[in-house]
Amino acid sequence: MKSRRKFLQNITGSVIAIPFLSKIEYLESFKNIKDRSYDGPVLRVAIMGLGSYGTRVADAMKDCTKAKLVGVISGTPSKITAWQAKYNIPEKNCYNYENYDSIKSNPDIDAVYIITPNALHKDAAIRVAKAGKHVISEKPMSINAKDGQEMIAACKKANVKLLVGYRMHFEPKTLEVLRMRKDGEFGKVLFFQGLSGFQIGDPTQWRLKRESSGGGAMMDIGIYSINGARYMIGDEPIWVTAQETKTNKEKFKGGIDETIQFQLGFPSGAVASCLSTYSMNNLDRFFLNAEKGFAELQPSTGYGPIKGKTNKGELDYPHVTHQTVQMDRMAEIILEGKQPTVPVDGEEGLKDLKIIDAIYSAIKSGKKVSLSL
């Protein structure tokens, strides 16, 4: 791993070369390099669901300064043993899905990061909240707005924080586009295009079972375009229209959406036009068009490097490991009460769920659906 000093030396040239960079947000983005001299509070996290994304988060957390992986909750004993060895997790911080309520009496765990199939987030969040631990839930926060509201209520009642794994809210190029938009550098925003999709493989996986996923591509990947439309435009939509198409009725059955095109209307008159799909690769693009300029991020939400340009030139920020930065920032939110540029709390997750509910409803009725977020 590069030392912090060497890393900063390597990137200093690009700070000077790009005149429109926000130095504060730019420097903020380097907190993904472990600061070994840090001796402030550290968020001690247990990961629930030791699958593909859980592993990515655990690996990324090795470089965190303010967050530390200290525990696991899993239904697979062999994974627990392997994680204990790999991440140095003590036996007393290991739980399964039957006994994890007893995490309540474990003073060495502050938060649980839920990284299980979507439909399991709600019940897990409520149990974690009842155990008095902060909740971080992967996206989608749950599978509908009603469940999302229950999660928010449970966390509020237990006086714990509820955050959602919106890693793009901490990504430097994304934040720079938002700074430019907020500073009026693009002028009035008129249009956003969000394309989010990939070709899904194994037809037996949980993502293609409604009882586990709560839906199809929209829940999984389309949510990036929904969330992106909101943070790129910087406002909340007031209506939605949507159309669904299917090329494979056998694979995408039982309430699993394959491809949905949807449009969001904003109070200013700006419109977002988005595509969510499980049947096309190379679909990861945000485009913002405004009176005085534009911003393009492509790829826009993958693990990176994110690439971006605006009418003023390339966004020349270095790549950061999203999950490392996310977890350090979430530690600051939970332990220090800091506010991120774009929220990652339960209310933020709920807004996306309300839009997803409205998209499904618009497909069913064929009509424009009003939104009140």
As annotated, the active-site residues are 139, 224
Asked if 220 touches ligand NDP (CB under 6 A), the answer is yes
Residues between 14 and 43 that touch ligand NDP (CB under 6 A): none
Residue 47 near residue 58, CB atoms below 8 Å: yes
302 forms part of the interface with ligand NDP (CB under 6 A): no
Q: Minimum distance from CB of 146 to ligand NDP (Å)? A: 18
Find the binding residues for ligand NDP in span 96-135 (CB under 6 A): 115-118, 120
CB of 190 vs ligand NDP, minimal distance in Å: 29
Which x/- pattern, by CB under 6 A, does the window 238-277 give for ligand NDP? ----------------------------------------
Size of the site for ligand NDP (CB under 6 A): 22
Strands, DSSP E only, in the chain?
A: 43-48, 67-73, 94-95, 111-114, 134-137, 162-164, 189-197, 239-245, 259-265, 271-277, 283-290, 294-297, 308-310, 313-314, 369-370
Of 73-81, 142-150, 181-189, 259-267: span binding ligand NDP (CB under 6 A): 73-81
With beta carbons less than 8 A apart as the criterion, state whether 363 and 216 touch: no
Nearer to ligand NDP, 131 or 221 (CB): 221
The whole-angstrom separation of Cα 352 and Cα 350 is 5
Please choose, from the candidates 81, 12, 71, 26, the residue with its C-alpha nearest in 3D space to the C-alpha of residue 47: 71
Looking at beta carbons, which residue is closest to ligand NDP? Answer: 51
Q: How far is the CB of 296 from ligand NDP (least distance, A)?
A: 21
Pairing status of strand 67-73 against strand 94-95: parallel
Distances (CA, A) of 242 to 216, 221, 228, 364, 367: 15, 16, 17, 9, 8
Q: Which two tokens stand for residue 153?
A: 């209520």
CB of 341 to ligand NDP, least distance (A): 18
Q: How far is Cα 372 from Cα 2, in angstroms, rounded to an integer?
A: 47
Q: Does 50 bind ligand NDP (CB under 6 A)?
A: yes
Q: Which of residues 154-183 bind ligand NDP (CB under 6 A)?
A: 165, 167
Nearer to ligand NDP, 141 or 229 (CB): 141
Q: Is 84 in the site for ligand NDP (CB under 6 A)?
A: no
Residues within window 190-209 making contact with ligand NDP, judged by CB under 6 A: 206
Q: Which of residues 138-157 bind ligand NDP (CB under 6 A)?
A: 138-139
Q: Which of 37, 52, 105, 281 binds ligand NDP (CB under 6 A)?
A: 52
Which one, 3 or 99, has the nearer CB to ligand NDP?
99
CB of 163 closer than 8 Å to CB of 340: no
Dihedrals φ, ψ of 270, to 5°? -65, 150
Shortest CB 94 distance to ligand NDP, Å: 11
Cβ(284)–Cβ(217) under 8 Å? no
Residue 68 neighbours by CB distance under 10 Å: 17
- Which pair of tokens denotes residue 294? 């534009």
- Residue 76 as a binder of ligand NDP (CB under 6 A): the answer is yes
Cβ within 8 Å of residue 305, ≥6 positions away: 299, 319
Q: Nearest distance from residue 216's CB to ligand NDP, in Å?
A: 12
Task: Judge contact between 183 and 20, C-beta under 8 A.
Answer: no
The footprint of ligand NDP (CB under 6 A) covers: 49-54, 74-76, 79, 115-118, 120, 138-139, 165, 167, 206, 212, 220
